[in-house]
Amino acid sequence: MKWKGRAGSKNVEDRRGRGVGGPVLAGGGIGGLLIVLLITFLGGDPGAILGGEGGGDSSSEPYVASEREEELADFVSVVLADTEEVWSEVFAEEGMEYVEPTLVLFSESVQSACGMAGAATGPFYCPADSKLYIDLSFYDELERQFNAPGDFAMAYVVAHEVGHHVQNLLGVLGDVQQARNQLSETEYNQLQVRLELQADYLSGVWAHHAQGMGYLEEGDLEEALTAASAVGDDTIQKRTRGYAVPESFTHGTSEQRKEWFYKGFQAGDLNSGNTFDAPEL
């Protein structure tokens, strides 16, 4: 992706090195991450599983980031700025106003309005404070553990979380939350799958416009599709337990995630992304 030399977003909150006290969700490393991914990977509703209130900063030592991490921080800031530009235009075309979210960079653990999370939680969006939370070490997990290398794989992650913010602004997240107590666990899981696939579609819409602005390079689309495939429920469950349990899926299969991202990439608008009315996913 062509990003160097371009301006980043003003809506970035850097909390790296400001770990919080108290219990956090799951342990460190890919093992803990994969367990959590079965429930909340790349968005969804972290409030249902994140911990409660946390303490204050656990360390007064200044945080020193590596040169590579600082470059990645600049990169996700530029991606966020691109999403702001795209969604402001798309919303304006529909007669709406886009309210920009905040991206929180953290290390090890973080307190959000949805609860407290550890790095093993993976990136997530909290609708209660309209903020995206990302530990930049996740980029290494994508590359090494999920075999999804490339900067545009990480751009897909950011765009997916922004997709949840778009859903929040459109009232979709609220509707899904209201349905939680009216459905069985299996039925609610199916609703969650449609929610996540719509966020994949919306990330594809962003990629469509990023291409139109000349920011994509050869191979970028393939990187995003690889990342979408790598985080399918079936792929993750087979990796962690050796087999897949479709009724427990909450994010969709690898093929579904790739398909809906690509649909958004082709369409470039809000009109074709209603996964909730789609007879088949």
What average pLDDT does range 265-279 have in this prediction? 94
Does 277 fall in a domain?
A: no
* Tokens read off for 12: 């970035």
What average pLDDT does range 135-161 have in this prediction? 92
Does 279 fall in a domain?
A: no
Percentage of the residues of the chain whose pLDDT score is greater than 70? 85
Q: The tokens 């977003």 sit on which residue?
A: 9
Contacts of 78 (CB under 8 A, 6+ apart): 3, 6, 7, 8, 9
Top pLDDT among 20 and 73 is at 73
**What pLDDT does residue 122 have?**
87
Give the pLDDT band of residue 279 (cuts 50, 70, 90): confident
**Residue 129: pLDDT above 90?**
yes
What average pLDDT does range 171-182 have in this prediction? 93
Domain range spanning residue 261? Answer: 12-267
Instruction: Look over the chain and give the mean of its residue pLDDT values, rounded to a whole number.
Output: 86
Contacts of 60 (CB under 8 A, 6+ apart): none
What average pLDDT does range 73-102 have in this prediction? 97
Top pLDDT among 59 and 125 is at 125
Does 5 fall in a domain?
A: no
Does 61 fall in a domain?
A: yes
Does 77 fall in a domain?
A: yes
**Residue 271: pLDDT above 60?**
yes
**What pLDDT does residue 44 have?**
52
**What pLDDT does residue 73 have?**
96
Domain count, the chain: 1
**Residue 45: pLDDT above 70?**
no
**What pLDDT does residue 184 have?**
93
CB 253 within 8 A of CB 233: yes
Percentage of the residues of the chain whose pLDDT score is greater than 90? 69
**What pLDDT does residue 34 have?**
36
Does 181 fall in a domain?
A: yes
Does 6 fall in a domain?
A: no
Does 49 fall in a domain?
A: yes
Q: Residue 188 class from Cβ within 10 Å (0-12 exposed, 13-18 middle, 19+ buried)?
A: middle
